[in-house]
Amino acid sequence: MKKVAIIGLGLIGGSIALGIKKSNSKAKLIGFDVLPKACEAALLRGVVTQVFPDLFSAVKNADVVFLAMPVKQTIVILKRLATFSLKKDVLITDVSSTKQEVLDCAEKLWQRGEVRFIGGHPMAGSHKSGVSFADENLFENAYYILTPSKKLADEQDITELNELLSGLSAKIQIMDVKEHDLIASQVSHLPHVLAAALVNQNNQYSKNHPFTKLLAAGGFRDMTRIASSDVHMWTEILLSNQSAISERIDDFVRHLKNVKQFILDGNETEIANFFENAREVREKMPTHQKGGLPNFYDLFVNVSDSPGAIYGITKILKKEKISLTNIRILETRTESYGILQLSFKNEKDLKKAKKVVDIN
């Protein structure tokens, strides 16, 4: 019977535990969190069967240890784990958003034969936090990146972790640790910096131009949604991926300077190219793919603007017991027909819905 210790009983740790239990009915899931409330909630929610009052008791007999917390804490806990006598060849993994620093730390602390280490980054989340909202489907179809330590893990260890995680139905992707942090700096860290910078700039500008805030509308709000993210976590992320992010900032500044020059030159062709390239690439972006944030299997249906149109469709879905993960009207503010976007959990539900909903 494999003992799996979840250190950090929040939404992510809890959801991983539930996913593991789904495909490993014999695994014993145990946990630890510095917050007694989180421990209680984890027992109540049934994500672990036992919680311990201290870190050492939780990990001492564990075969696998999940560190489910932000990057800085992960490193603190790794250093504490190194002071304990752990089970020989315990498999340790984590969930933090940047991977190099954690991997370096593990490789400094242990030798092959003492501890096995594979970094992990499950790329899904929810607006909800806390173990009470843990969900075995949270990572369904989301990417779950693994960055194995070359020193502390081999193919067999990766296979073992892969199998343990199979119940999550995530897309497991092995990636070089450096490559992970580089790509994350482009697709996630830089966008967060841009969103926050735009909000701050807008705020400053509004001091001398009071209409600024009044006129910042839909497009602006979409672009700055991620500026509402967790301050503490994002500060840690920037600090643990310094060179990659600053390189991406420099590169972005080069892009901005180019387009600025086109504007000053009145270079219509180059400005049009700039927008045309972006439009083409943007429209090719896959919409059925999951990643850092959830996104879904969609069905698009023409509906009239009458109060009964959506009712009719939800009635059919209810009858067929098909759950929606989301529903929205794409085209609004016209008297004519609109497009209803119905999002489903998986392809099976989407196919079922396609059969019963009349796509007129």
Assess 231 for contact with its own copies (CB under 8 A). yes
Separation of first and last alpha carbons in the chain:
54
The verdict on 63 binding its own copies (CB under 8 A) reads no
Strand 171-174 relative to strand 143-148, pairing: parallel
Judged by beta carbon, residue 61 or residue 288, the one nearer its own copies is 288
Backbone angles phi, psi at 57, to 5 degrees: -60, -35
Nearer to its own copies, 159 or 228 (CB): 228
Of residues 53, 54, 61, 228, which one binds its own copies by CB under 8 A? 228
CB of 115 to its own copies, least distance (A): 27
Smallest gap from residue 53 Cβ to its own copies (A): 28
> In 10 A of CB 187, how many CB atoms?
13
Distance of alpha carbon 139 from its chain centroid, rounded? 9
User: Are the beta carbons of 24 and 2 closer than 8 angstroms?
Assistant: yes
**In the bound complex, what is the minimum distance in angstroms from residue 351's beta carbon to its own copies?**
16
Q: Could you say which of 23, 212, 302, 346 contacts its own copies (CB under 8 A)?
A: 212
Per-residue x/- track, 237-276, its own copies (CB under 8 A): -xx--x--xx-xxxxxx-xxx-xx--xx-x-x--xx-xxx
- Per CB under 8 A, 217 contacts its own copies: yes
Question: Which residue number, 80 or 213, has a Cβ lying nearer to its own copies?
Answer: 213
* Side chain identity, residue 68: A
Of positions 63, 73, 194, 352, contacts its own copies by CB under 8 A: 194
Residue 186 engages its own copies in binding (rule: CB under 8 A): yes
Q: What is the largest CA-CA distance in the chain?
A: 70
149: CB partners within 8 A, 6+ apart: 103, 106, 107, 117, 118, 119
- 142-181 residues in contact with its own copies (CB under 8 A) are 143, 145, 173, 175, 179
Q: Is the dihedral of CA 237, 242, 248, 252 positive or negative?
A: positive
Here the tokens at position 353 are: 């819905």
Residue 298 touches its own copies, criterion: CB under 8 A: no
Using CA atoms in the order 151, 119, 250, 243, what is the torsion angle rounded to 10 degrees?
Answer: -50
Amino acid identity of residue 178, one-letter, is K
Residues 314-353 that bind its own copies (CB under 8 A): 314-315, 317-318, 320-336, 343, 345
